[in-house]
A and B are shown apart, each in its own frame.
Chain A
Amino acid sequence: MADLLTLNRLVVRRGRKFSLAPTSLTLTDKSGIVGLFGQNGAGKTTLLKAVAGLVDHQEGDIRTRNGRVPAFLPDRPYLYEFLRVDETPRLLARYYDDYSVEIADEIIDDLGLDRSKRVAHLSKGMSEQLSLGLMLARRAEVYLFDEPLAAVDPVTRDVVLSLIQRHRSEGSAVVISTHLISGLESLFDEFAVLHEGRLLLHEPVDALMRDGGLEETFKKVVRGA
């Protein structure tokens, strides 16, 4: 078993307030898909952004194999709208040294997108699917997805989850932050709860399912905090 990501007492502060209290977490090549749950404002986005190198941390450290930056899907649009769909993976290949244009093209075909269309002309749903799909074409060891399931209909949700399961690198760990639990229990291998900037729980899902399910565990952990 190899450690893919280790957070060692990571601290993010905004002024005098903790956005993230000292947080330690290890993901291995056996972690699979990790659900990161928390209420709005719990610090999920801050944690993921800090790991992705988009927010400064004041204490602790982040370790990955060879210091590679994990693939990160932000919770807001990030693609350049003036580019055509088929231009975007080629640009990303210039931005990331672990990027696979072939896999990106395969994902675009899977989504049935018109390659000659500009990103600006895609529907909101299609644009979100493309954003996620193109980040999956990185051959990363760790993927961080910030709220990829927020405000998507059940059909789109299935498409998104299928993309993640089919196209992520073998042996990689995937962190999906969300506040939706219902209907997603079977997706996750590990379950983490973040509350008011503190990581309260990180356990394999199997044990928690025997103990009343994820939603009950989440409520119990947050109420007991």
Chain B
Amino acid sequence: MLEWKVEARKHARFFGFSLLVVCSVLAAHLALDNTVTEVLWVFAVILTSAAAAAYVAAHLFHHVALDGDLLFHMSTQSAVKKFALKTVPLFLGFCLVGCVTLFGYLNGDGSDGTAGFLLYAYGSKIASFGAFVVTVWVLARLVTRLRGLSTQILVSGVLFVAFVGLQVYGHWTWHSLSGLNWSVGSSTEFLGLPMHANVLAVVVGDGGTEITPAMAGSFVVNTVTVVVGAAAELLLFSRGRSRRALATVPVASGSAV
């Protein structure tokens, strides 16, 4: 368990501070309920969501593409364990902050969703975080061999925007968003359907509060992204690396690295 605790400690300061900010502002918003606290709450949601995404992306990119965290890279743990150790604590921290920001959205004016709908909203949010973590990891792997940090950031950024843009376009087409009130980004009010293009919220107004196939589509796409990305890392990237020492004698059971 110690290795898990150490990974958690690496991020405790950032996520602890983010939680403190968002919870304090939420408490003030609920207690006072005036325009000032409302504006503060909107800003707190936008800032913490953006900061958490940037933090997670930077940390994963530094680890995967730039070979940061030398001690961790040198360890002889399995590829599965290394992947889990690096992604799960970040994912959980992201979820903690994200689910608090969802509170206002689900409990704002006009909220009339059923328990199933609320549960779906949290599930959709959590799947979007998982998809983001895995997408950043895979993109960082793809640009590892490019020379120069700026090229790496540029190429992975373009690929990320294209991947998310494609999903927004898909939702637009499938859900006929042209005829509805919709926006891209985080929302603090209960405006409609909680959908996500990867980590980006696509908030649709006047869409009712029923879970439709189109709405479930974003959840499915993000879940598939998590599964495919994790499989690519474990079956393709980590095995394909020419960094392994081969055995001069047959590998004894349990002693191979």
Contacts and interface: CB of A to CB of B under 8 A. Distances in A.
Contacts of A15: 147
B115 interface: no
B76 A82 contact: no
A95 B71 contact: yes
B6 A80 contact: yes
A72 B247 CA distance: 18
A63 interface: yes
B241 A56 contact: yes
A63 B249 CA distance: 9
B245 A94 contact: no
Interface of B is mostly: loop
A216 interface: no
Interface residues on A, range: 35 or more
B242 A58 contact: yes
Nearest to A50: B243
Interface in A48-101: 50-58, 61-70, 72, 74, 76, 78-80, 82-83, 87, 90-91, 94-97
A66 B249 contact: yes
A3 interface: yes
A94 B74 CA distance: 12
A96 B76 contact: yes
Given A54-B73, A64-B248, A74-B70, A91 B2 contact: yes
B3 A66 contact: no
Given A55-B243, A57-B243, A74-B70, A97 B255 contact: yes
A7 B253 CA distance: 24
Contact of A54 (B2, B74, B249, B255): B74
Given A66-B255, A69-B257, A80-B6, A97 B249 contact: no
Q: Give the residue among A50, A56, A87, A90 with the most B Cβ atoms within 10 A.
A: A56
A67 B241 CA distance: 15
13 contacts: A6-B248, A54-B67, A55-B243, A61-B246, A64-B245, A64-B246, A65-B247, A66-B252, A66-B255, A67-B244, A67-B251, A83-B6, A95-B76
The 9 closest A-B pairs by CB, nearest first: A95-B75, A67-B247, A53-B243, A78-B70, A63-B248, A94-B3, A64-B245, A62-B245, A78-B71
